[in-house]
């Protein structure tokens, strides 16, 4: 059995109890991203003030990986500076695209290191990245 390496307890926890879910006002930018291979979708809003992320709110449908990734993103980005949060996005992207060969920087990623196992499954990397790419897009548009 190798399932455990992907479905870390933390991922299942976030999936069952998503943090910050639901679309909220006010917001500076809203984006809608779709994973065309599986139909997973996310609508994501950001509220930014003076370089600080005040809120990341989202609504979507998808598998446990994509839903948990959005929940973890909400926790990590909300309250951080835009710059810090984009640093986390970059590190998370590097980890996800590393085909399981990349050592995660836990100091940067925090809870998001739990997704390290996903990187070994090319078909699932897009699930994990869906909300994070949407976030990056939303931040750019909010500027």
Partner 1 sequence: MFDVDLIRKDFPVLSRELPGGRSLVYLDSGNSSQKPNQVIDTMRDHLAHHYSNVGRAHHTLGAESTAAYEDARDAVAAFVSAPSRDEVIFTKNASEALNLVAYAFGNPIATDERFRVGPGDEIVVSEMEHHSNIVPWQLLAQRTGATLRWFKVTDEGRLDLDDLNDLVNERTKIVSIVHQSNVLGTVNSVSPILARVREVGALMMLDASQSVPHMPVDVTELGVDFVAFTGHKMVGPSGIGVLWGRRELLEAMPPFLGGGEMIEAVWMDRSTYAPIPHKFEAGTPPIVEAIGLGAAANYLTGIGMADVRAHEKELTGYALDALGEVPGLKVIGPRTNISRGGTISFTLKNLSGDDIHPHDVGQILDDAFGIAVRVGHHCARPLHLRFGIPATTRASLYLYNTTDEIDALARGLHHVQKVFG
Does 40 bind partner 1 (CB under 8 A)? Our answer is yes
Burial class (CB in 10 A: 0-12, 13-18, 19+), 125: buried
Neighbours of 104 (CB within 10 A): 19
Nearer to partner 1, 7 or 136 (CB): 7
Residue 28: closest CA among 53, 63, 5, 65: 53
Among 43, 64, 81, 93, binds partner 1 (CB under 8 A): 64
Nearer to partner 1, 67 or 142 (CB): 67
Nearer to partner 1, 123 or 143 (CB): 123
Q: Which two tokens stand for residue 63?
A: 């598998």
- 48-80 burial, b at 16+ Cβ within 10 Å, e below that, comes to beeeebebbbbebebbebbbbbbbbbbbbbbeb
Per CB under 8 A, which region of 2-10, 24-32, 49-57, 69-77 contacts partner 1?
Answer: 2-10
Q: How is residue 7 annotated by DSSP?
A: S
Per CB under 8 A, which region of 47-55, 79-87, 95-103, 120-128 contacts partner 1?
Answer: 120-128
CB of 108 to partner 1, least distance (A): 27
Among 44, 65, 119, 139, binds partner 1 (CB under 8 A): 65
What distance in Å separates the CA atoms of residue 63 and residue 77, rounded to the nearest whole number? Answer: 21
Which residues would be at the binding site for partner 1 (CB under 8 A)?
1-3, 6-7, 12, 15, 37-41, 61-65, 121, 124, 127
């Amino acid at each position: 059995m190798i399932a455990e390496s992907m479905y870390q307890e933390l991922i299942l926890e976030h999936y069952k109890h998503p943090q910050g879910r639901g679309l909220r006002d006010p917001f500076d930018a809203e984006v809608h991203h779709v994973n065309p291979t599986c139909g997973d979708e996310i609508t994501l809003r950001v509220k930014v003030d003076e370089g600080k992320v005040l809120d990341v709110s989202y609504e979507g449908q998808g598998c446990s990986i994509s839903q948990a990734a959005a929940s973890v993103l909400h926790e990590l980005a909300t309250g951080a500076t835009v710059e810090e949060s984009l640093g986390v996005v970059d590190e998370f992207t590097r980890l996800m695209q590393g085909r399981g060969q990349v050592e995660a920087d836990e100091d940067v990623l925090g809870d998001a290191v739990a997704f390290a196992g996903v990187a070994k499954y090319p078909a699932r990397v897009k699930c994990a990245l869906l909300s994070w790419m949407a976030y990056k897009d939303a931040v750019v548009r909010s500027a």
